């Protein structure tokens, strides 16, 4: 389908991201979430069949629920609302695509963290800092911060993103914009933390992307998905370990154990790992939306 869509007159250009396919329609984008999976910025050779639909629908669910905090790019997730040229592809687009407002991407990943894990925990263990900022002393793995932190990183065109301090961000973009990104990232995180806690999920950290349309800054990309967030099972949460998670930590743990050096190419995933992760995506979908994934 992707090749056929690329040929449509209405499509100005196509960008194949690690996970999503983005079609530029001028003032709008059509974004299709594939079943590809990436970790450590590498895309795996296998797909997780159905993953794209689940993640797209989680993101849409949240975009529709956070308008009280900030405007976002979503125009519609209903193919009938898409330009007529796409209607022939309805069956393939249904559930995994969105029509959004095109923005100028602000080239930083805005990460909010409520708990110490992943790269933040690695840095803290060695230096006692997170994104070069001193934080609470004597923290243990997965412990909650007294206050959520804003820990931006660069959005590298290729290779790994680089964590930067808030001060570095201030050097690179307008101060008012940096403050706005920080404030909104923390507000969104706190809202989601409360919302998900009531559904037995701890959102340990999450990543946002913002874009501008003229003077306005809006939320873009995806939000609160298992690809952009670290989700833990609240009932299995424990300090001092890496808790049971609903996100791609499962894949990360598997490939780390397998001895992969995190450089391309990413290794083949065994069928049981594919099945297990799909199961986790379905479970998190039903916990969030209250509906069984069909
Ligand atoms: N509203 C938007 N306006 C412009 N670009 C967007 C918008 N929403 C998402 N994007 C961009 O589309 C791409 C989505 O595809 P993805 O697979 O995540 O790519 P990547 O490998 O670059 O992370 C990202 O580069 C993201 O920044
Ligand atoms: Mg991305």
Q: How far is the CA of 254 from the centre of ligand 2 (A)?
A: 22
**How many whole angstroms from 32 Cα to the centroid of ligand 2?**
12
- Is pLDDT above 70 for 215? yes
Report how far ligand 2's centroid is from the alpha carbon of 137 (Å).
33
Compute the Cα dihedral for 111, 251, 34, 92 and give only its sign.
negative
Q: Is 131 left (phi over 0), alpha (psi -120 to 50) or beta?
A: left
* pLDDT score of 159: 66
Q: Is the CB of 181 under 6 A from ligand 1?
A: no
DSSP letters spanning 204-219 = EEEEEEEEEETTEEEE
* Other beta carbons within 10 Å of 282: 17
pLDDT for the residue numbered 273? 93
Please indicate whether residue 110, judged by its CB atom, sits closer than 6 Å to ligand 1: no
Q: Tell me, what's the pLDDT at 223?
A: 98
Ligand 1 pocket check for 278: Cβ under 6 Å: no
User: Comparing C-alpha atoms, which of 69, 30, 70, 36 is closest to residue 55?
Assistant: 36
Give residue-wise pLDDT tens across range 95-126. Answer: 999 999 999 999 999 999 999 999 999 999 99
| Residue nearest atom 10 of ligand 1, based on CA coordinates | 221
Give the integer Cα–Cα distance in Å for 251 and 276: 9
Could you tell me the two tokens for 215? 């003077």
pLDDT, one tens digit per residue, over 163-195 is 999 999 999 999 999 999 999 999 999 999 999
Rounded to two decimals, the pTM is 0.96
The string of pLDDT tens digits covering residues 119-142 is: 999 999 999 999 999 999 999 999
229-242: average pLDDT:
95
Q: Distance between CA atoms of 284 and 291, rounded to whole angstroms?
A: 10
Q: What is the pLDDT of residue 59?
A: 98
| Contact 16 CB / ligand 1 (< 6 Å) | no
Question: What domains lie within the chain, and their CATH numbers?
Answer: 2-102 (3.30.200.20), 105-255 (3.30.470.20)
Distance CA 8, CA 10 (A): 5
Ligand 1, atom 16: nearest CA belongs to which residue?
A: 17
Res 157 pLDDT > 80: no
Whether residue 284 is predicted with pLDDT greater than 80 in this model: the reply is: yes
């Amino acid at each position: 389908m992707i090749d056929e869509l690329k040929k449509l007159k209405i499509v100005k250009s196509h960008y194949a991201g690690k996970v999503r396919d983005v079609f530029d329609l001028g003032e709008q984008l059509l974004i299709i979430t594939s079943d590809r999976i990436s970790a450590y910025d590498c895309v795996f050779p296998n797909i997780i069949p159905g993953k794209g639909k689940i993640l797209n629908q989680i993101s849409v669910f949240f975009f529709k629920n956070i308008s009280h905090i900030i405007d976002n790019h979503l125009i519609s997730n209903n193919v009938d609302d898409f330009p007529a040229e796409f209607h022939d592809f309805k069956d393939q687009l249904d559930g995994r695509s969105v029509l959004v407002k095109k923005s100028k991407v602000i080239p930083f990943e805005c990460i909010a963290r409520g708990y110490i894990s992943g790269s933040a925990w690695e840095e803290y263990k060695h230096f006692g800092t997170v994104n070069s900022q001193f934080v609470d002393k004597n923290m243990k793995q997965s412990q909650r911060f007294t206050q959520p932190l804003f820990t931006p990183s660069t959005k590298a065109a290729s290779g790994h993103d680089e964590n930067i301090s808030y001060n570095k961000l201030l050097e690179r973009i307008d101060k008012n914009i940096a403050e706005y990104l920080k404030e909104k990232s923390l507000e969104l995180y706190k809202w989601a933390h409360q919302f998900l806690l009531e559904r037995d999920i701890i959102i340990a950290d999450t990543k946002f992307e913002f874009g501008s349309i003229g003077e306005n800054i809006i939320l873009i990309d995806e939000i609160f998905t298992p690809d952009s967030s670290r989700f833990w099972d609240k009932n299995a949460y424990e300090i001092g370990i890496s808790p049971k998670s609903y996100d791609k930590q499962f894949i990360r743990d598997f490939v780390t154990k397998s001895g992969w050096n995190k450089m391309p190419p990413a290794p083949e995933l065994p069928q049981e790992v594919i099945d297990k992760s799909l199961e986790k995506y379905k479970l998190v979908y039903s916990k969030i939306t209250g509906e069984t994934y069909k």
